[in-house]
Amino acid sequence: MLVKKLKETFEQYDQKEVVLQGWVRTNRKSKALGFIELNDGSCFSNVQIVYTDALNNFDEVSKITLGSALEVKGTVVLTPEAKQPFEIQATSVEVLGLCDHDYPLQKKRHSFEYMREIPHIRPRANTYYAMFRLRSVLSMAIHTFFQDRGFVYVHTPEITGNDAEGAGECFTVTCRQDDEYEKDFFGKHAQLTVSGQLHVEPFAQTYRNVYTFGPTFRAENSNTTRHASEFWMIEPELAFADLSDNMDCIEEMIKYCIKYCLEHAKEEMEFFEKMIDKDCIKRITEVANSNFKRMTYTEAIKELEKVKDTFENKDIFWGMDLQSEHERYICEKVVKGPVFLIDYPKEIKAFYMRVNDDQKTVAACDLLVPYVGELVGGSQREERYDVLEAKIKEMGIAQETLQWYLDLRRFGGCKHSGFGLGFDRMLMYLSGVQNIRDVQPYPRTPRNLIF
């Protein structure tokens, strides 16, 4: 039988015989008595196994190494007075897989850098054990949020002929070198997607509200704590929605995800609060109960000009692309919480964003949050055929690659908006973990490919 969470069901097994499989976290012995902390994978806490020299293999059991796989038979005994709510008094302990002595984890704390070298082992260490379950819970939060609201989940392709962001940061796809087509995708130029947006938009013109959620790839050579070459993105698209509706959706989604994770990953969040970021639960709870501010890019530039000498990049002017230090100043020092920056200069944003009446700015919204900076990037899309066509030309994009996208404007096109939430950055935001390499199971960053 599969037990969902041992911790939630143990009371019904009081004084009963159970069989448990799991991995050893600690094993200590004194004379005729020994204790194993076993993790069965069902929850963050370990189960205490008590064994005595009544076991016929007591000596063997007392030498079982950290990380070994076991099957334990024994009686559940409730221990409400003790640190752990119950323990198992073993009647038999069978070693299923002994861990060799060069096992890379010890009982002490290891550095993040060390752990990044062993992605196949690190899920067993507490921080990663908590993180990768949180990752799973957050995925569920996203799906539940959108499914409950009638959004349709669309699988957009990983291999594409379009650079959705127009930033030239694509990994090219090639066939085998000895193939008759040599380097191209069966004779066509193709790349790994940087965003599912262009491919999800047609579905918003069908189902009204849709989302895609999958891996995206960026070949930007930036070695920061917040950029990965492969990361997951949630990209909803809402027909008949303007920029303000878009921001309402983002805000509701972020708050929902926070509450969902606090409820469904309680032990994991408590661990992060204890070991990683002592304010994380308080911080995100406040965010879940706050109203996100909205500020124009122009207002943000004025704020930055006031303190420009405090930045590494002191050259503050209207039209500049904001650096992470500027974004963090706005949300951490000016607003002191999440803030939507809206109406960016059109030159620094993607071709598909709707041009505002001033002709200088576009209806974009970036959500900036303390600790992380940009968490979400979104916009109202340009639905006017002529304006979009002119923009594509102006930006030097080959129109034939986007004719299908332009045509959507001729075939029942309407006002619509959408956004992209960086899934990995959301995990950083929730947990307080400061490097994207520690929230991804197998981090993919420039010059870093383990396995």
Enumerate binding residues for ligand 4AD (CB under 6 A): 164-165, 195, 197, 218, 227-228, 231, 233, 235, 374-379, 418-420, 422, 424-425, 436
What residue ranges in 98-199 does DSSP mark as E strands? 152-153, 159-160, 191-192
Instruction: Name the nearest CA neighbour of 115 among 23, 126, 424, 429.
Output: 126
Q: Which does 193 bind (CB under 5 to 8 A by kind): Mg ion, ligand 4AD, none?
A: none
Smallest distance, Mg ion to C-beta of residue 259, A: 26
Beta strands in 182-228 (DSSP E): 191-192, 209-217
CB of 312 to ligand 4AD, least distance (A): 20
Query: 382, 391 in Cβ contact below 8 A?
Result: yes
As measured in angstroms, the least distance from the Cβ of 236 to ligand 4AD is 8
β-pair type (47-52, 86-97): parallel
The span from the CA of 219 to the CA of 180, in Å, is: 27
Question: Please, which residues bridge with residue 294 across strands?
Answer: 340
Contact region with Mg ion (CB under 5 A), list: 96-104, 113-121, 160-168, 376-384: 376-384
Please count the other Cβ atoms lying within 10 Å of the Cβ belonging to residue 398. Answer: 8
How far is the CA of 418 from the CAs of 146, 231, 382, in angstroms?
13, 19, 11
- Cβ proximity to ligand 4AD: between 47 and 134 the closer is 134
420 touches, from Mg ion, ligand 4AD, none (C-beta below 5 to 8 Å by class) = ligand 4AD
Q: How far is the CB of 89 from ligand 4AD (least distance, A)?
A: 48
Half-sphere exposure of residue 145: CA atoms within 13 angstroms, side-chain side? 23
Instruction: Identify what 199 binds: Mg ion, ligand 4AD, none; CB under 5 to 8 Å per kind.
Output: none
416 binds, among Mg ion, ligand 4AD, none (CB under 5 to 8 A by kind): none
Among Mg ion, ligand 4AD, none, partner that 418 touches (CB below 5 to 8 angstroms by kind): ligand 4AD
> How many whole angstroms separate alpha carbon 142 and alpha carbon 133?
14
- Measured CA to CA, the distance from residue 193 to residue 157 in angstroms comes to 7
Q: How far is the CB of 376 from Mg ion (least distance, A)?
A: 8
User: Could you tell me the smallest distance in angstroms from the CB atom of residue 353 to Mg ion?
Assistant: 11
Instruction: Select from 37-45, 265-273, 371-379, 436-444 the region that touches Mg ion (CB under 5 A).
Output: 371-379
Residue 26 pairs in a beta bridge with: 37
Partner touching 218 among ligand 4AD, Mg ion, none, CB below 5 to 8 Å by kind: ligand 4AD
Min dist. Cβ of residue 212 to ligand 4AD (A) = 8
With the CA atoms of 140, 328, 359 and 194 taken in that order, what torsion angle do they form, in degrees rounded to the nearest 10? -40
CA distance 146 to 346: 30
**In this complex, which beta carbon is closest to ligand 4AD, that of residue 48 or of residue 156?**
156
Give the residues across from 97 on adjacent strands: 69
Cβ proximity to ligand 4AD, 36 vs 428, nearer residue: 428
Work out how close the CB of 7 gets to ligand 4AD at its nearest, in angstroms, rounded to a whole number: 33
Give Cβ neighbours of residue 132 (< 8 Å, ≥ 6 apart).
123, 441
Residue 355 interacts with which of Mg ion, ligand 4AD, none, CB < 5 to 8 Å by class = none
CA angle, 216 as apex, 393 and 352 as ends, to 5°?
25
The contacts of residue 395 (CB under 8 Å, 6+ apart) are 166, 351
Query: Is 127 or 229 the residue whose CB approaches ligand 4AD more closely?
Result: 229
For 388, residues 6+ apart whose C-beta sits below 8 A from its C-beta are: 351, 352, 382, 406, 409
> How many residues line the site for Mg ion (CB under 5 A)?
1
Cα–Cα distance, 14 to 132 (Å, whole number): 31
The closest alpha carbon to 245, from 339, 363, 375, belongs to 363
Contacts of 145 (CB under 8 A, 6+ apart): 252, 253, 256, 257, 260
Closer to ligand 4AD by Cβ: residue 154 or 164: 164
- Span from 113-121, 189-197, 372-380, 438-446 in contact with Mg ion (CB under 5 A): 372-380
Q: At 81, phi and psi to the nearest 5?
A: -80, -20
Q: x/- binding map, residues 262-301, to Mg ion, per CB under 5 A?
A: ----------------------------------------
Q: Least distance to ligand 4AD from the beta carbon of 164, Å? A: 6
Of these, 377, 378, 413, 418, which contacts Mg ion (CB under 5 A)?
377
Instruction: Please report how close the Cβ of residue 361 comes to ligand 4AD at its closest, in angstroms.
Output: 17
Q: Determine the residue type at 258.
A: I
* Contact between residue 442 and residue 448 where contact means Cβ atoms under 8 Å apart: no
CB of 324 to Mg ion, least distance (A): 12
Partner whose footprint covers residue 201, from Mg ion, ligand 4AD, none (CB < 5 to 8 Å by kind): none
Partner whose binding site includes residue 74, from Mg ion, ligand 4AD, none (CB under 5 to 8 Å by kind) = none
From the list Mg ion, ligand 4AD, none, which binds 419 (C-beta under 5 to 8 Å, kind-based)? ligand 4AD
64 versus 233: smaller Cβ distance to Mg ion: 233
Give the interface with Mg ion as residue ranges (CB under 5 A): 377
